[in-house]
């Protein structure tokens, strides 16, 4: 039973605003934990109650007493209605390291999620079994997909050694050029799988798919990683930024890194090269790499990048040149068919 100022809350047949509020919150709990496709159970965990390994079989489990009144004294849970004297029959519920609850315990689950100080303070927590199960299924599914793509006899990716080595280098697999193709595949597989387990934002199955399916993305990511490895770009600790390098000198700034992202600076640099056409174009120009340029890709570039591209191609520009005029001149220089933007 749920009580509000010692009055039972009639959430199943609501009349007051409090009744309706609790009803709506309980319905959300039902949707989250007890819907058709859910595990239909809630796991409450008391971390300090975990049995020590030595005593796991015969040791006495620690218990925690959950007070059945909210910290402000307004709300109360009880497994039974008050007695004839208006007194509650229970004041605590004792739990051990982990306790499972089901839909019949819905009112107590509501109290735990919304009013129990022990949960709000972090002494206890509700484990999301459904989300953990989904993550495990997703990991297993990704694992099977990666295995097939890298090792399947009929996988086109598995047969393309150059592609596999490029992707392995993108994801930081060491000594890609020195080891055999099967070792490259195995090391790449383990790298992606570990990234999935660690929920890495760069080394994961989604990015692996993108790199194996998209030639332009793979090319950009490969040259970004190769530029780092070959010291063609460098990270300057003073202003937390990646630069094009000429010898030991930092020249053109490419990507700035936020303080909190410094540990992942290499991966962020690669992602910027893949996703930002202006930075990608400036890197490719600096390292002398050709882009499969189209008029659409030129129009994605900003005016500053177009001016630098024009300079690298060896023709003069002026401050009066508008962006579309620069696109037209570059098209003529590269022998790309030019069509006005409105055409």
- Give the tens place of pLDDT for each residue, 249-268: 999 999 999 999 999 999 99
Residue 109 CA, chain-centre distance (Å), reads 29
Q: Which residues contact 330 (CB under 8 A, 6 or more apart)?
A: 293, 298, 306, 309, 310, 313, 336
pLDDT tier for residue 149 given thresholds of 50, 70 and 90: confident
Q: Is the pLDDT of residue 55 over 50?
A: no
Q: Which residues contact 262 (CB under 8 A, 6 or more apart)?
A: 240
pLDDT tier for residue 312 given thresholds of 50, 70 and 90: confident
Mean pLDDT to the nearest integer, 100-113: 94
Q: Is the pLDDT of residue 105 over 90?
A: yes
Quote the pLDDT of residue 138: 59
Cβ neighbours, 10 Å, residue 119? 17
**Local structure of residue 59 (DSSP, 8 states):** S
Q: Is the pLDDT of residue 20 over 90?
A: yes
Q: Is the pLDDT of residue 140 over 60?
A: no
**Distance between CA 126 and CA 110 in Å, rounded?**
11
- Two tokens at 313? 């191609």
Q: Which residues contact 173 (CB under 8 A, 6 or more apart)?
A: 184, 187, 188, 191
**Distance between CA 304 and CA 308 in Å, rounded?**
6
Residue 258, SS3 per DSSP: coil
* Positions of E strands within the chain: 2-4, 7-8, 42-45, 64-67, 75-77, 92-95, 98-101, 125-127, 233-236, 241-246, 249-256
Q: Which residues contact 164 (CB under 8 A, 6 or more apart)?
A: 150, 157, 158, 181, 184, 185, 188
Quote the pLDDT of residue 56: 44
Quote the pLDDT of residue 250: 95
pLDDT tier for residue 142 given thresholds of 50, 70 and 90: low
Q: Regarding predicted confidence, which is higher, 110 or 317?
A: 110
Q: Is the pLDDT of residue 109 over 90?
A: yes
Mean pLDDT across the chain: 86
Quote the pLDDT of residue 122: 84
Quote the pLDDT of residue 58: 45
- Two tokens at 303? 């005016």
Mean pLDDT to the nearest integer, 72-77: 94
pLDDT digits (tens, 9 = 90+) for 159-187: 899 999 999 999 999 999 999 989 999 99
Q: Is the pLDDT of residue 60 over 80?
A: no
pTM strictly above 0.85: no
Q: What backbone phi and psi angles, to 5 degrees, belong to 93?
A: -120, 130
Quote the pLDDT of residue 57: 44
Mean pLDDT to the nearest integer, 266-272: 93
Residue 238, SS3 per DSSP: coil
pLDDT digits (tens, 9 = 90+) for 182-205: 999 999 999 998 888 888 888 988
Q: Regarding predicted confidence, which is higher, 316 or 245?
A: 245
Give me the torsion for CA of 109, 115, 119, 120, rounded to 10°: 150
Percent with pLDDT over 90 in the chain: 41
* Positions of E strands within 63-219: 64-67, 75-77, 92-95, 98-101, 125-127
Q: Regarding predicted confidence, which is higher, 303 or 240?
A: 240
Q: Regarding predicted confidence, which is higher, 131 or 11?
A: 11
């Amino acid at each position: 039973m749920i009580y509000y100022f010692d009055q039972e809350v009639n959430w199943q047949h609501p009349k007051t605003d409090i009744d309706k509020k609790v009803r709506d919150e309980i319905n959300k709990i039902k949707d989250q934990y007890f819907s058709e496709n859910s595990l239909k159970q809630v796991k409450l965990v008391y971390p300090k109650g975990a049995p020590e390994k030595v005593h796991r079989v015969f040791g006495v489990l620690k218990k925690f007493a959950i007070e059945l009144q909210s910290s402000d004294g307004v709300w109360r849970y009880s497994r039974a209605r008050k007695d004839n004297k208006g007194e509650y029959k229970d004041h605590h519920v004792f739990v051990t390291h982990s306790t499972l609850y089901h839909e019949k315990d819905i009112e107590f689950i509501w109290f735990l999620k919304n009013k129990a100080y022990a949960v709000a303070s972090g002494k206890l927590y509700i484990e999301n079994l459904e989300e953990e199960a989904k993550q495990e299924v997703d990991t297993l599914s990704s694992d099977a997909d990666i295995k097939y793509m890298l090792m399947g006899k009929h996988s086109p990716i598995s047969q393309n050694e150059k592609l596999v080595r490029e992707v392995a280098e993108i994801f930081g697999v060491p000594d890609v050029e020195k080891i055999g193709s099967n070792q490259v595949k195995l090391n790449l597989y383990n790298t992606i799988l570990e990234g999935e387990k660690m929920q890495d934002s760069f080394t994961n199955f989604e990015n692996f798919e993108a790199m194996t399916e998209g030639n332009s993305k793979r090319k950009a990511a490969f040259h970004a990683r190769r530029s780092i490895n070959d010291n063609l770009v460098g990270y300057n600790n003073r202003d937390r930024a990646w630069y094009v390098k000429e010898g030991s000198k930092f020249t053109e700034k490419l990507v700035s890194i936020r303080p909190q992202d410094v540990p992942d600076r290499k991966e962020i640099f690669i992602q910027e090269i893949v996703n930002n056409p202006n930075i990608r174009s400036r890197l490719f120009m600096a390292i002398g790499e050709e882009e499969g340029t189209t008029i659409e890709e030129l129009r994605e570039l900003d005016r500053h990048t177009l001016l630098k591209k024009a300079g690298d191609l060896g023709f003069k520009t002026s401050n009066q040149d508008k962006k579309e005029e620069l696109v037209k001149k570059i098209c003529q220089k590269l022998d790309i068919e030019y069509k006005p933007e409105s055409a």
